[in-house]
Amino acid sequence: MSHATHSRLIWIYDPDWTADDLAVANDAAFVFNIVLPITILRVGTLITTVMNGAATVAFDRRVLTDSDTGRVNGLDSSGNGVIIIPTTTAVGKLVHKDLASSPVDCNPGDQIIAEVTSAATSGAGRHFVEYIVRDETAANCSDMIATA
């Protein structure tokens, strides 16, 4: 399915503009909270410190906020949300994985966790998610509750 007619949005997770240390595995420090129905088209990392050794980053999907119950490793059952950042990747390079042929739908209340699963010797980066907002009403999103 083509998404060329939609406006693509980029979400860079940078609280206080701090990059993720790609030499530390299993920290799960970078959490994207989903508040709208979205379709993820691309995930990746902007390199901010040159890589010494390769790193693997998994973008996992939590279907329950702050809970690993039902957590989907690599966004889907095929693990499409996993990127491998090569050694010696330079500052300013964007290492990404295109999900256009198998985009991932997320709903309000879901979370995307960017987690280093295989650490480099050194290196750092800022993770991002590229997505489109799905045309959907709040009434059709089970985790959205209207209030008076």
Write out pLDDT tens, residues 44-90: 999 999 999 999 999 999 998 888 899 999 998 888 999 999 999 99
- Going by C-alpha positions, the residue among 47, 42, 44, 52 that lies closest to residue 93 is 47
Exposed (0-12), middle (13-18) or buried (19+): which is 135, by Cβ within 10 Å? Answer: exposed
Neighbours of 21 (CB within 10 A): 18
pLDDT in tens, 97-147: 999 788 999 999 999 999 999 999 999 999 999 998 888 777 777 777 778
Exposed (0-12), middle (13-18) or buried (19+): which is 75, by Cβ within 10 Å? Answer: buried
